[in-house]
Amino acid sequence: MKRYRFLIILVSTLLLGCEYPDLAYDKMSDNKILHGKVLEKRSKGMTLALTGESRDKYSETIRVSVPDEEMIKLVEEGQELSVWFDIIRESNPPQTKALKIKVITTPN
C-alpha cells in the first residue's frame, strides 16, 4: 500500500512539472513583437505609440530601451516599427527592452 502511495505522489509530481507547449511557445521572442509608431527617439531608446493588436494587448504607448545605440541609428520619429522584445515591465507607460528592430516601409 505504501508503494502505491509513493508511486501516485511521484507520478503526480512529474505531471505537474510538465508545461503546456503553447505556453512555452509564447515565451519565445520570435512570438513577442510590438508594432507601433515612434513618438520620441532618445540615445538609448524610444517611445512608441502602439498600433493594432499591440495596442489592444498592452497600452497606447510603451518605452523601449535598446542595448546598443547602433540598433536605433536609422530610426526616426514618425516611422512605423516592428520591435521584438523580452518582457513587458509594468509601469506607466510600460517598458521593455528591444532585441531586434525592423523599420516598416510603406509604399508611396
List the chain pLDDT tens, one digit each, 108 residues.
788 888 888 888 877 776 655 544 455 556 788 999 999 999 899 999 998 888 888 889 999 999 888 888 888 999 999 999 988 888 888 999 999 999 888 765
CB 81 within 8 A of CB 45: no
Q: Which amino acid is at 6?
A: F
Task: Report the pLDDT value the prediction gives residue 24, as an integer from 0 to 100.
Answer: 46
Identify the structural domains of the chain with CATH numbers, from first to last: 32-104 (2.40.50.140)
Task: Report the pLDDT value the prediction gives residue 30, as an integer from 0 to 100.
Answer: 61
3-state secondary structure labels for all residues of 47-98: EEEECHHHHHHCCCEEEEECCCHHHHCCCCCCCEEEEEECCCECCCCCEEEE
CB 84 within 8 A of CB 32: yes
Task: Report the pLDDT value the prediction gives residue 29, as an integer from 0 to 100.
Answer: 54
Task: Report the pLDDT value the prediction gives residue 25, as an integer from 0 to 100.
Answer: 46
Tell me the backbone φ, ψ of residue 104, rounded to 5 degrees: -90, 120
| Strand duo 95-104 + 61-65: pairing | parallel
Question: In 3D, which of 43, 38, 45, 32 has the Cα closest to residue 80?
Answer: 38
Task: Report the pLDDT value the prediction gives residue 106, as an integer from 0 to 100.
Answer: 72
